[in-house]
Amino acid sequence: MAISRATLGNMRQNLVIALVTVAGLLAGVFSGDIHMAGGMLVHQLSVLIVIANGMRLLRVPKAAPRAAISRETQASAAAART
């Protein structure tokens, strides 16, 4: 469940990054401040940022197997009884 929440949050972040980049590039093109080479550079940098942001999901801890959790719970319950 944690990985799905992290993925959803990551997708939202990536959408914001993409939309802000496109809005900035459009504003720059219409004002004449951004040329083709500069726009391509900004776009490629935003793609790298999105990739790096997605790679953060690799650090999300994986859930422990249920069998291991139940054994630990049983062991701690037995220790508490003694």
Say which DSSP state 32 is in: T
- Give CA–CA dist 51/37, Å, rounded: 21
Is residue 3 within 8 Å of residue 57, measured between CB atoms? Answer: yes
Tally the C-alpha atoms within 13 A of residue 53's C-alpha that lie toward its C-beta: 19
Region at 81 (left for phi over 0; alpha for psi -120 to 50; beta for the rest) = alpha
What pLDDT score was predicted for residue 59? 83
pLDDT in tens, the chain (82 residues): 778 888 999 999 999 999 999 999 999 999 999 999 999 999 999 999 999 999 988 886 666 556 555 666 666 666 676 6
pTM, to two decimals: 0.65
